[in-house]
Amino acid sequence: MKFIKSKLFIGIVCFLVAILVGFVGVPMVNKMTNETVSVVRFKEDIKKGTVITQQSIEVVKIPPAGLPENAISTPTEVIDKFAVTDLQKEDFATTAKVSASAPDYLHELPKGKMAVSFSVNSFASGLSGKVLQDDIISLFTVVGDIQNLTKTEEVTAENHPALTYLKVLSATSATGIDTDNKTKDEDGNLLLPATITVLVNAEQAKLIAGLEQNGTIQVAVVSRGNTEYAEKLLSVQQNYFDQLSSQEKQELELKEVPQPTDTLPTEAEKDLTPEGGKKNE
């Protein structure tokens, strides 16, 4: 009898536990499983320093477990902000990835390098406003007063070997805003670059400064979006300066070597024998 009561008690307990799980536990698990939170996600690749637009983002819902640290859920916290680093499509927006101010590339200049800007004198000379940060460009130049050339004179542009491959740091509008083919002014028009800033050494800076005052510069894009190829081109440009430096060093060493004189021996020197004595008369 006691055994039967014991089984009955256990059965009642199991029944109550089943009811508790069915009516309390299962709904709680379902609620936790179905719960989602909103987060801003990028719809396209965005380069470092680019202004983020509404067209570049979307709001999606994900489980809380997949939410990254410091994730941004409100689009207004991202729109018109700058990308702090290169952003990939379907990355989630976080406070560490965007900034209210543009990254200052001038604080990241390599040792021995400097930044120099030159003016975009016409729509065509600046590649129709299509130059972007990190492009590798080549500069073609015309020195002299083009306006006063006669109709029979031919205008020839030259590509100085020191200005063959240059890395673009920024393309900047006349109001000082870095452009990216997407930035618009208050009227909705695309901002066009008025200047282009490039990474150079001292010799290149001198050449560009001279051309800014006395010549006309035409930009040609050589590489975009291919980091490996861009590094190879910049290496080729550096090799030019390495070889130039080596040649100058050799020329300097040659100047320091005593050169043989062409002075004819005197009559007294002619009479001297190799041993230092006089010839027999």
pLDDT at 198: 94
Residue type, 92: F
Is there a single domain that holds both residue 44 and residue 122? Answer: no
| Same domain? 179 vs 92 | no
Residue with tokens 């709680």: 28
CA-nearest of 43, 62, 70 to 54 is 43
Same domain, 122 and 221: yes
Residue 272: predicted pLDDT: 47
Domain-located, residue 129:
yes
What pLDDT does residue 12 have?
72
Type of residue numbered 105: Y
Number of domains the chain is built from: 2
pLDDT of 101 reads: 72
Tell me whether residue 27 is in a domain: no
Query: Nearest CA to 125 among 104, 143, 139?
Result: 139
What pLDDT, on the 0 to 100 scale, is given for residue 121? Answer: 84
Verify that 132 and 210 share a domain, yes or no. yes
Are 123 and 165 part of one and the same domain? yes
CATH of the domain at 91: 3.90.1210.10
The pLDDT assigned to 148 comes to 56
Does residue 68 sit in the same domain as residue 128?
no
CA triplet 40, 45, 48: central angle to 5 degrees?
95
Residues 124 and 205 in one domain: yes
The pTM score is 0.56
| 193 falls within a domain | yes
Domain-embedded: residue 64: yes
**Is 4 among the domain residues?**
no
Task: Identify whether 276 is part of a domain.
Answer: no
- Residue 126 domain-assigned (yes or no): yes
Residues 136 and 88 in one domain: no
- How high is the pLDDT of residue 281? 45
Range of the domain at 134: 114-146+153-226
218 and 130 in a single domain? The answer is: yes
Same domain assignment for residues 181 and 218:
yes
One domain, residues 44 and 142: no
Residues 90 and 118 occupy one common structural domain: no
- Secondary structure of the chain in HEC code, one letter for each residue: CHHHHHHHHHHHHHHHHHHHHHHHHHHHHHHHHHCCEEEEEECCCECCCCECCHHHEEEEEECHHHCCCCECCCHHHCCCCEECCCECCCCECECCCEECCCCCHHHHCCCCCEEEEEECCCCCCCHHHCCCCCCEEEEEEEECCHHHCCCCCCCCCECCHHHCCEEEEEEECCCCCECCCCCECCCCCECCCCEEEEEECHHHHHHHHHHHHHEEEEEEEEECCCHHHHHHHHHHHHHHHHHHHHHHHHHHHHHHCCCCCCCCCCHHHHHECCCCCECCC
Measure the CA–CA gap between 9 and 3, rounded to whole angstroms: 10
Kindly list the averaged pLDDT for each block of 10 residues, start to end, along the chain of length 281.
60 70 58 75 85 89 83 90 87 89 75 91 81 91 61 70 93 78 67 89 92 87 91 94 78 57 52 49 45
Contact between 88 and 42 (Cβ < 8 Å): yes
Residue 196 domain-assigned (yes or no): yes
Distance CA 29, CA 96 (A): 33
